[in-house]
Amino acid sequence: MYDKLREECGIFGIFAAGDGSGVDVARETYMALYALQHRGQESCGIAVNDGGLIMSHKDVGLVPEVFNEMVLNHLKEGQMAIGHVRYSTTGSASRENAQPMVMKYVKGSVALAHNGNLINAYALREELENSGAVFYTTNDSEVICHIIARERLRTPSVEAAILSAMKRLHGAYSLVIMSPRKLIAVRDPKGFRPLCMGRLGGCTVFSSETCALDALGAEYVRDIKPGEVVVVTRDGIQSYRAEGSDEESTLCVFEYVYFARPDSVIEGCSVHRARLEAGALLARQYPVEADIVCGVPDSGLDAALGYSRESGIPYGTALIKNRYVGRTFIQPSQNQRERSVKIKLNALSSAVSGKRVVLVDDSIVRGTTSARLIDILREAGAREVHMRISSPPFLFPCYFGTDIDSREKLIAYKMSVEDIRRCIGADSLGFLSVENLARINGPGEKNYCMGCFTGKYPINVPESVPKDRFEKKLPL
């Protein structure tokens, strides 16, 4: 519905000390998923392990839609649990593709929740299918389950199987995995997607973002390192590193720009402060004479505040968000699609009428929303609208866990900045430079993945990875 990049998912895991008595791991996971809901709104699920017996519940919908008291009571008993919220980047939005994945094999049961995207999933799946493997979903997370299960047949432990499997998995993956007696957190050797560890009383927890730890009252311990495998058992915590792991991550920079919640801290850097700095850098790069600076709710607000502070132009509220409209809003006709943005966001005419407005957003993907927002501000009486974007133009596909799989979907690939300005109807338009984006967390350029802006990826990527590559194989 809205012209935004979508991230695949959020993951969470918890291991209760002792026998798990007194800790309702399912409810703790439920609360954590609530805090991670912004990372995926298509489906969600929880799996609970009670001495090797894994019970799970998952479905399409938001966390409060999928879970109720009866479901949580059914999942109550257990020493550990993992949870997942999903937005599909590989595989369609369906109950079958919801996670966690639960698989039974000769060594017992395993459950897995995955954030990221494998760039070699198609080749791995073909190889597995040709050797007799049966798949029930069209997502790449099931491929990871199969690879780990096969490696487990020739290795002494599940963590050894995971380390061996990592040699074959190429791309982005942060994982939480449950075996009969272990909770395991895994981050790919490049560290594309975030994953951190915390402590909740006697429990060890893992989460995509620290905001979920805050929601539970858990203490942040540290981030999982690139290529690290952390194993939690009743005997304690052990850590292993995969071959070829980087000392520093090449984290997706868009975690700071848009994906993560502003109250999260990722790899020691506050998301809120990073967005303030992006806005300040944007003000230095593209100054303008104006009367008010406003942000597009919600991810553009911090950058707008940073722009205001740096430029001295007053910060104000110009767009009001309807918080009761989800991302799955139905658009049955073209006319309604064109009006859909106004259902989500409306202008505050008393704040913008007769004024020169600086409108700050985190990105422009296809341009449709930006054009409509500018129209809305002009209809409310804005004299000028100057668009400022706290990231560079999207010029290349993302292969590591977002839904932009083709350059043809990107307006910046088709048009120059001046052409985009005319297309969206702005009086001026400025994008944050790649060099400044690398500095949003302080002096000195950081080693982020910015392939969608530069075309330079931390690992070799295929020429194309269509989002529905698994579905297209299915017979009619």
The secondary structure of residue 314, as a DSSP letter, is: P
* Alpha carbons 293 and 358: distance in angstroms, whole number: 5
* Alpha carbons 401 and 141: distance in angstroms, whole number: 12
**How many other C-beta atoms are found inside a 10 Å radius of the C-beta of residue 206?**
30
Taking the alpha carbons at both ends of the chain, their separation in whole angstroms is: 28
DSSP states of 218-286 as a string?
PEEEEEPPTTEEEEEETTEEEEEE-TT--SS---BTHIIIIIS-TT-EETTEEHHHHHHHHHHHHHHHS
* Alpha carbons 394 and 434: distance in angstroms, whole number: 11
| Per-residue buried b or exposed e for 267-282, using 16+ beta carbons within 10 Å of the residue's own CB | bebbbbbbbbbbbbbb
DSSP states of 64-115 as a string?
HHH--HHHHHHT---SEEEEEEE--SSS-SSTTT-SSEEEEETTEEEEEEEE
- Of the residues 9, 203, 252, 449, only one is catalytic, namely 9
Q: Which contiguous run of DSSP H or E holds residue 29?
A: helix 25-35
203: annotated active-site residue? no
Look at strands 428-431 and 384-389 and give their pairing. parallel
| Residues known to be catalytic | 9
